[in-house]
Chains A and B, each alone.
Chain A
């Protein structure tokens, strides 16, 4: 089974801090995604990546950046955390060319609270 591992389950950070959320997958998937999930709003795509060093903006990229230096690792960076970035963050991966057809594998999520 593909495993997508997110480094932290729960995180509490202060306003203005730079925050790193890490995601690692172990099945050589090309595609990796970062979503946030909020009640009533569902899953919203922040950034995604088709390959190493490639990234594309999703629907809500403002206030976030990403890094993909290795195929298995996709990092989400909150440049200056704000309270409205308190959310559940989900990482996902999929095979290129089957992304929509093969479905995503999600990590367990990181619940981030910004105080």
Chain B
């Protein structure tokens, strides 16, 4: 079993819809949870960062972490065609452990 599981999709939704992307994980030591967005033929860019459990909102994006269920989510409101990309979740444990563990990514297409 992988440490981090992410549905690869592809996921297609109409413009304006709410998108929900999810990852599950097995390592209870993970404390830092991130979402990266990767456009085609580009490197991933950090989109959202959350420490421990709870919600974080940034514009149209909301990241949720439920450590009791080992489940994280990214919600995109009022989705736009420019949101079409691959979204990767990433997780890390304590400071001093410098490595992140990534999900395989979910490919999202927003249909105009």
A-side interface residues toward B, CB under 8 Å?
Answer: 4, 31, 33, 40-43, 45, 48, 50, 58, 90, 92, 94, 96-101, 103-109, 111
Contact = CB atoms under 8 A, between A and B. Distances in A.
A90 to B, nearest CB: 5
Contacts of A100: 31-32, 91-95, 97-100
B85 to A, nearest CB: 13
Nearest to B30: A100
Interface in B81-112: 88, 90-100, 102-105
A40 B104 CA distance: 7
Given A42-B105, A100-B98, A106-B44, 13 more contacts: A4-B43, A33-B99, A40-B104, A41-B104, A58-B99, A94-B98, A96-B98, A101-B31, A103-B49, A104-B44, A104-B90, A105-B46, A106-B43
25 contacts: A40-B8, A42-B6, A42-B88, A42-B104, A42-B105, A48-B99, A96-B98, A97-B96, A99-B99, A99-B100, A100-B31, A100-B94, A100-B99, A101-B31, A101-B92, A103-B46, A103-B100, A104-B46, A104-B90, A106-B45, A107-B43, A108-B41, A109-B41, A109-B42, A109-B43
Given A48-B98, A100-B92, A100-B97, A90 B104 contact: no
Contacts, number: 71
Contacts of A99: 92, 97-100
Interface of B: 6, 8, 31-32, 34, 36, 41-46, 49, 51, 88, 90-100, 102-105
Contacts of A111: 41
Nearest to B103: A42
Contacts of B98: 31, 48, 50, 94, 96, 99-100
Contacts of B46: 103-105
Contacts of B44: 43, 90, 104, 106
